[in-house]
Each structure stands twice: as structure tokens, then as C-alpha cells.
A and B are shown apart, each in its own frame.
Chain A
Amino acid sequence: MPVKVMIPTPLRAYAGKREAVELDAATVGEALGRLTSEFSELRKHLFTDDGKLRSFVNVYINDEDIRYLAKENTRTKDGDTISIIPSIAGGCCS
């Protein structure tokens, strides 16, 4: 099923400078998997070394946060838009 993944500005350099990538996937996790196998440099910015989505990476499907759906198992439909939205964190000392 073709879905569109929107790439946030800070990651476009790792996705052939594209704003969006269209690919076939049945779930959000599959879409992100296909995306990062096509653009392997994206992987370390989206996933931790043990393959979990980083805490500051937010994934929305048509404006709904997948944390409140079935997370990466959320099923996709034809024409869905998946958006990767940053959250920003930091602090002065560890």
C-alpha cells in the first residue's frame, strides 16, 4: 500500500534532500524499516542502537501520534501520510 513519509528538515540531507518519500508498507514500522533501508544514514537518527525509536522522534499518521494508536504496529491504508516530528530536549549538565 503506497504511503507517504514526510521527512523533517534536519533529516532531509540523509534522505536525498527529499521532503517526502513514497513507499509501500502495511504498518508504520514497516514504512520506517523500508525508509531506513533505502536511506541507511537515517537509521541512527531515528533509532537507538538496539533498534527502538528514539525518545525525541515522534511519528504521526495523518496527524495522530502513533503512541496513542498501535505504535509501530499501527496499520496503514492507501494514501496515508506518516510524519516524523522532532521534539527537542537538552539541559545544562548530565
Chain B
Amino acid sequence: MSGEAQLWISMQLAEQIRRHGAETYPHECCGALLGRDNPVSAHSSSDEGAEKPQREVLALFPLVNRRDDSPRNRFSVTSGDVRAAEKEAARQGIDVIGWYHSHPDHPARPSEYDREHAWPWYSYVIVSVAAGAPTEITSWRLADDRAEFSAEEIAICQRASV
């Protein structure tokens, strides 16, 4: 796994994730990140100047947390929800590139439970919500061998979402 993974997201969409976390507090929120992975073709040269996103969130697909039994410290997205998110992404001509959820009154770091249930490749965005107010937001990717999550830098960009 590259150590320089980066996830681009607009200020508005990052704010929308934080707001979702505040709305469902003290329960966990969850949703899909829709966007593009490697939107720049391989032949493009670096002399263009500006940095190009390797992975970019272009829309969100908020979901309902299915874990009625322990919504404060668990979230679950059914395969039906995953298919609905994929369908919406396809409608917009983009892909499901990851998932977001909140950690009510816990730091924005993946738990052991998160790691055990994670898929590789996807970006896992976590927002910490302390006493109802969203604080830190982080992103993570699972290593190929499933042993650990690596932090992925979140690049907040100004461009409007598509």
C-alpha cells in the first residue's frame, strides 16, 4: 500500500459528513463516498503544475445505521444498501470509493472492530463527535494483508462538487 494515499473532498461535502455525525449523535452515522479513483490518466505528465487528485469524493450517499441493537458504538450497511449506493454512483457515472461513519465521544481512529470488518481499497472516513459537536475527521485504508489501517491524508479542496 502506498504511504502517500490522499483523499480529496470539497469543504461542503466534508461539512455534510460532520453534520450527519452531529445529527445522529449519540448514535453512529454512516454513508457511502461516491467519486473517482485515479481520475487522471497514467500518461499525464507532472508539468501541469497543480496537484491532481488520485482519489476524489464527488458526492455522498447517506445511509441509515442498521444496528438498532447497539447504534452508539456500531454501524452496519447491508449488502442491499451497498447495491443501492453502487446504483446511485453508476447513475452519476462514478464509483463507490469508500464509506464514512462517526465515532460518538471517541477519537477519529479506527477500532479493532473496524479493522476486522474492513475491505481493502475503500477509503474509510471517520468523524469524531464529542458531546454532539463534530471535531476531527480522518481517512484510512486497510493494508493488503489486513493487518492494519494506514492513515490517508484528507485534502479539503474548494472546488464545487459535480
- Spell out A's residues near B (CB within 8 Å): 8-14, 41, 44-45, 55-56, 58, 60, 65, 85-94
Contact = CB atoms under 8 A, between A and B. Distances in A.
Contacts of B121: 9-13
Interface of B: 28, 30, 67, 70, 72-79, 81-83, 95-96, 99, 101-106, 110-114, 117-122, 124, 144-146
Given A87-B79, A88-B99, A13 B117 contact: no
Contacts of A65: 79
B63 to A, nearest CB: 9
Contacts of B28: 91-92
B113 A94 contact: yes
25 contacts: A8-B119, A9-B121, A10-B119, A10-B120, A10-B121, A11-B119, A12-B121, A56-B119, A58-B79, A85-B83, A86-B79, A86-B82, A87-B79, A88-B30, A88-B82, A89-B74, A90-B30, A90-B114, A91-B28, A91-B101, A91-B111, A91-B113, A92-B102, A94-B111, A94-B113
Contact of A89 (B77, B103, B145, B146): B77
A91 B111 CA distance: 7
A45 B142 CA distance: 11
A62 to B, nearest CB: 14
Contacts of B81: 87-88
Contacts of B118: 90
B119 A90 contact: no
B99 A93 contact: no
Contacts of A14: 120, 144
Nearest to A54: B117
A91 B75 contact: yes
Given A45-B120, A91-B113, A92-B111, 11 more contacts: A8-B119, A85-B79, A88-B117, A89-B74, A89-B75, A90-B30, A90-B99, A91-B67, A91-B73, A92-B106, A93-B73
Contacts of A12: 121
A88 to B, nearest CB: 4
Contact of A90 (B79, B105, B124, B145): B124
